[in-house]
Amino acid sequence: MHIPDGYLSPQTAIPFVALMIPVWGIAVKKVQKTLKKKEVPVLAIGAAFSFTIMMFNLPIPGGSSAHAVGAVLLAILLGPWAACIGVSVALIIQALIFGDGGVLAIGANCFNMGFVMPMVGYYVYRLIKGQAESLSTRSLIAAFMAGYLGLNAAALITAVEFGSQYHLFQAANGMPLYFPVPLKVAVAAMMSEHLILAGPVEGLVTALGVWFVGKNYPAIMAERMEIGGRLDDWGVGKHV
Amino acid sequence: MIGGLASMFKSFRKLWLVLGVLIVLSPLGLIATGTAFGEWGLDELMEEVGFIPAGLEKLADFWTRSPLPDYAIPGLDATLVQSAGGYILSAVVGAALVIAILSLLAKIVKD
């Protein structure tokens, strides 16, 4: 899902960077208010976990591959804005140090996996979980669905970004200038991989992670979910 | 900073353990040799669609300073053991950088 440089036109890639700068600003402000000092290690280790889980490429029949991201797990544990910062840092390191994902494309990649994915995942989790306990079956099913839908939301927006290039940017002779595959094909390929394989893996990682942290560090889950988790604000006012 | 890191280690032992296990197992990610959809290099693009778009070619090499490109030590990917070693080293370096950068948040958040 890491878009390389050249796949997006500069007219697409640069606005995403411009968009992400204020988003990161808001994220830092939110985190400054809501994250506790003792939770910083959880965000740091969690983002390193996300970095590493993205290295586990899953083989896709037909010769492709895909991977889970771990962004929804972070969002559930620490809130979507903290997840945005954590996953963005992982993605920027991946681009600069490992050449995974483009540098011009950092804005788009951070938007997809560092913003859309944790936001969608977080609200899906809260919606399905309701007032259930963090370690209840309902909460773990909610975590699975949140991971599944969060990753697929990111995959869809990624496919739309590069697939649209084929139609929007063509040379005078009609040849595509950037990503050379039509939108329909890009969406079909990306969604089949993520709906069938990577999505369920993301769901499992998310549910297992919520279970593991809830079991071993119940205070972290309680902090985010039980105390401010009234349905009227979904814990948004207090804990996001 | 060292003291801070030490207490970080102590308070979340089990999270570190999970991260360590994942890093050691990371070479499993090498089993999938196929490139993800929409992440092809120029040579793979040639195979997939038969040509390299002009604008894409110009921007593809925008960033060439990655010290560990594709999670590998340059020149050390001839054998599976070398690739696995490079992959684990990359995971360690990446995880360490991510943790070091995010630890800085401790300076701006509440106690």
Q: What is the mean pLDDT of residues B50-66?
A: 95
* Chain A residue at shortest CA distance from B5: A41
3-state secondary structure of A230: coil
User: How close are the terminal C-alpha atoms of chain A, in Å?
Assistant: 26
**Strand ranges in chain A using DSSP code E only, listed in sequence order:** 58-60, 64-66
A38 has a chain B CB within 8 A of its CB: yes
pLDDT band at residue B79 using 50, 70 and 90 as cut-offs = very high
Alpha-carbon distance of A9 to A12, in angstroms, equals 5
B40-73: burial string, b at 16+ Cβ within 10 Å, e else: beeeebeeeeeeebebbeebbeebeebebbebbb
pLDDT at res. A227:
38
**Domain ranges (residues) in chain A:** 10-239
Chain A residues in contact with B41 by the CB 8 A cut-off are: 4
Residue B32's φ and ψ, nearest 5 degrees, are: -80, 100
B107 CA to chain A: closest CA distance, Å? 8
A158 has a chain B CB within 8 A of its CB: yes
**Domain ranges (residues) in chain B:** 2-32+66-107
A97 has a chain B CB within 8 A of its CB: yes
Would the pTM count as exceeding 0.90?
A: yes
Alpha-carbon distance of A48 to A86, in angstroms, equals 8
Cβ distance of A89 and B69 shorter than 8 Å: no
A124 CA to chain B: closest CA distance, Å? 25
Series of mean pLDDT values for 10-residue runs along chain A (240 residues) = 96 98 96 89 97 95 90 95 97 98 98 98 92 92 98 98 96 95 96 96 98 92 54 49
pLDDT at res. A112:
98
Cβ distance of B11 and A178 shorter than 8 Å: no
Chain B residues in contact with A56 by the CB 8 A cut-off are: 22, 26, 28-29
pLDDT at res. A229:
44
> Read out DSSP for A178-218?
S--S-HHHHHHHHHHHIIIIIHHHHHHHHHHHHHHHHHH-H
CATH of domain A10-239: 1.10.1760.20
Alpha-carbon distance of A111 to A23, in angstroms, equals 9
